Structure 1
């Protein structure tokens, strides 16, 4: 079967360039023509596919799409990629990785500069007032609060901006996976602070815990980041007591916050503290910044005692 490159380009909203049909990779923006298709007598099914913004799975998906739409014949090689395709995909993956690391390094530089030039956070900032929090461990740029995000070596890679209305933004091209906001984790001489280390999701949640207990805290900045940050803390503090302060998302069909907290605690041998007892009504979702500070300390202590 002869592969019609021009017909493929027309059908998928792409273009022909140097003998290649450049089309959008499935699942990506229609403006992002990251897949190149080239006719080749040496390929098992008559064409070579290279997804420059995808993976091997994306390339296989493109071939399945071409077969389903009648541009390729069905054959025994349905789930195979040629050596050239695998090589081009690998090269593209390495190039994307280099570009991503370059962008992340640049974003980290911007974060460091932003933090260095920031001013003292105003206790009267609307977000702090709404959450009844003191501005410790953060700074201000314009009307935004700045929350520094570091890796397990405590190198800053990102800064979360919190607007007066509570909207939160991360730096462009900056990483978030595995990063966290720490406060009171170490003493001024570098030794670990006394007491357990409490790990949770957001800045406000963990600032509330620190205010109520004085314990060292770490904010993973999201539920999906909770386990990786907890594991990093366990490596840093092999024998320290770890408490996972859960966001209670019981108003959702799936309690994402509690589920992530339980998974993180199990991974590091920690305990889970919840802001509300499980017998509370289903509409009483909350995090530790939503409840009285006296209740915060009580809920953390109850978790430590296994109550």
Structure 2
């Protein structure tokens, strides 16, 4: 006699329905059992059953399922055996609907989950307030931030910075990345959900990243550029993972760019942007490697273009395989990144659909070897600059704002200019393109803003009295600086000793102090003797804090690294130098703190009435 057919999935659901999901060991065993019997198709059943537990956590569930193996020693037989211990009848020919749908959480579980969700919302709100307070306390990013310099990027208004000890004091704990505490100058990157700040990403000088504990990350984004408006026709919007990748693409194109905290939240951010701007072209910036899967998912779900960087086959950056658009900008150029993104958007009338044989956004027949390497860029740059002048890391090309509408179909997009013969005495087109490509982004240093004779005699006399005589005196230049050194503060001028017996007079009429602390010190006559850094944006001076010992340490380590690379020493030496620099700076700070404590003790031990006479 033949046995009636019983759907195995229905049997599994019914068996799970009688097993409590609250015990952790049972919960994990059932993940292994379902993966062994049903494969990845069993996740929905297992996850639905997991939700009946009071302590259910979606992230933990997905992580546990990924770690479960089909050969983990648990099978569907293990599941059915355990179900029989709870009264399940295995030999039924059919299962009542109440058994197949018995996975609804109990009322007490729903109540406990509701309380937990309320606590989580309160925690998210508290972290959001903390993020806003830290953002308001932080100061604009000063010049030459090590992380931005290494990434060939410039500060933008949506980035700020704090010293690591300041962050420790504000947070009440030491932010860390994989047990490594953040040190030095820490970039503060705000992430928004709608109109409200939700959390902060913190990036130190070495690229170590952390975020505020307990902050809401899902759907949060950082923005580079002016926020798009529905009232005005918008240029394409770029969406990617990570601040450096997105800022590189923004600099290369001038388009608005949004960054998610991780590749896992990229689809949510893309969906939010598509819902708000249904008619705007979206471009998802994918990373080569594991992040590409989420990037493809985000592009397909939001009807967006997917752009992937391209590299030469042997390209390396810091002895690692390059993966993102920032790596492409560093190895090739920002103009190359801009050309690629504009080509992807403007060569199609609608977003590219995924195909198994061709990457979305990939030009058929495009050779990876055509991508300019960093060696070629360095050679061209050095050939154009005077031999006595070092190549500047800040000398990246200015970007041209892309056209608002696609080019005519009859004019094919080309990434390399055609070779032409220029008339005698005129520069060739290739030379002109190369000159624009390597034009520095920072305006050139101009003439002195005023003459030394324009400085009042009493101010010059104060400078000689403070810093000695004879004294070399100078005035700042347009777009000059940064000027570094000890300062002497007067009512109308900030006198700065930039070298031994050499001073520069900074006018205070339009001077901007980048932090409230410096502004307070100026207003309360506390700047005298401070070591500061002054840079000029045109004729507008900006004052930043500066530490001579730290600057000397960084320059020394940088020089040692350069020598190690020139002599082909092991890359491990650079890692050791970074560690030594961190330890040396920690010792300097400890010595300063100890000296300050000793000074306070000596001051407290002195008798205010003086010795007996």
- TM-score of the alignment, normalized to the shorter chain, above 0.5: yes
CA contact (8 A) 2:230 2:277 kept: no
The 8 Å contact of residues 198 and 243 in structure 1, kept in 2 or not, is answered as: yes
Flag the structure with higher helix content.
2
Secondary structure of the structure 2 residue equivalent to 1:235: helix
Matched, 1:128 2:148: yes
Aligned residues: 248
Distance 1:82 1:164, change over 3 A: closer
- Taking the aligned partners of 1:74 and 1:281, their CA distance within structure 2 comes to 63
- Aligned residue number for residue 186 of structure 2: 144
1:75 aligns with 2:95: no
| 133 and 230 in structure 1: CA distance in 2 versus 1, 3 angstrom threshold | same
Of 263, 276, 279, which aligns to 1:239? 279
Q: Give me the whole-angstrom Cα distance separating, in 1, the residues matched to 2:303 and 2:268.
A: 14
2:208 aligned residue: 167
Task: Measure, in 1, the Cα distance between the counterparts of 2:155 and 2:141.
Answer: 6
Higher relative contact order (CA 8 A, sep 6+): 1
DSSP 3-state at the match of 1:114: helix
Report the counterpart of residue 286 of structure 1 in structure 2: 323
**Residues 237, 283 of structure 2: 8 Å contact kept:** yes
Decide whether the 8 Å contact of 2:234 with 2:280 is kept in 1.
Answer: no
TM-score computed with the length of structure 2 as normaliser: 0.37
| CA distance in 2 between partners of 1:68 and 1:125 (Å) | 62
| Structure 1 pair 68–54 and aligned structure 2 pair: CA distance change class (3 A) | farther
Structure 2 CA distance for aligned equivalents of residues 223 and 266 of structure 1: 15
**1:275 matched to which residue of 2?**
309
Asked if structure 1 preserves the Cα contact closer than 8 Å seen for 2:54 and 2:110, the reply is no
Q: CA deviation at 1:193?
A: 7.1
Confirm or deny: 8 A CA contact 2:237 2:280 kept in the other structure. yes
DSSP-derived class of the 1:303 partner: helix
In the alignment, the residues of structure 2 paired with residue 107 and residue 196 of structure 1 have an alpha-carbon distance, to the nearest angstrom, of: 32
Mapped to 2, the partners of 1:300 and 1:240 lie a distance apart of 15
SS at structure 1 position matched to 2:323: coil
Instruction: Tell me, yes or no, if the aligned pair for 2:186 and 2:203 is still in contact at 8 Å.
Output: yes
Per the TM alignment, residue 245 of structure 1 is displaced from its structure 2 partner at its CA by 1.1
The within-5 A match list for 1:105-116 is 105-116=125-136
Q: Does 1:228 align with 2:230?
A: no
Deviation at residue 229 of structure 1 after TM alignment: 0.5
2:587 aligns to what? none
Q: How does 1:42-61 map to 2 (within 5 A)?
A: 51-54=53-56
Deviations 1:145-172 (A, max 9, x none): 0111001x22101010011111111111
Paired residues of 1:185 and 1:193 also in contact (CA < 8 A): no
Unaligned runs of 5+ in 2: 1-21, 28-51, 62-77, 90-97, 164-184, 349-362, 364-613
Change (3 A) 1:186 1:192: farther
Contact 1:273/1:302 (CA < 8 Å) preserved in 2?
A: no
Q: Is the 8 A contact 1:25 1:53 kept in 2?
A: no
CA apart distance, 1:273 = 1.1
Counterpart pick for 2:298 among 256, 264, 267: 264
TM-score by length of 1: 0.70
Structure 1 residue 123: deviation in Å? 3.0
Q: 1:217 to 1:55 in 2, by over 3 A?
A: closer
TM-aligned CA deviation for residue 55 of structure 1: 7.1
Task: Compute the displacement of 1:178 (Å).
Answer: 0.4
Q: Does 1:87 align with 2:104?
A: no
Aligned partner of 2:119 in structure 1 is: 99
Q: Mark the runs of 5 or more structure 1 residues left unpaired by the alignment.
A: 1-22, 29-49, 59-64, 250-255
Aligned partner of 1:6 in structure 2 is: none
CA-based RMSD of the aligned residues comes to: 3.4
User: 1 CA distance for matches of 2:270 and 2:201?
Assistant: 20
The structural deviation recorded for 1:257 is 2.0
Deviations 1:36-70 (A, max 9, x none): xxxxxxxxxxxxxx9542379x9xxxxxx999789
Against the structure 1 CA distance between its residues 243 and 111, is the aligned structure 2 distance closer, same or farther, given a 3 Å change threshold? same
Q: Offset of 1:88 from its aligned partner?
A: 1.6
TM-fit CA distance, 1:223: 1.0
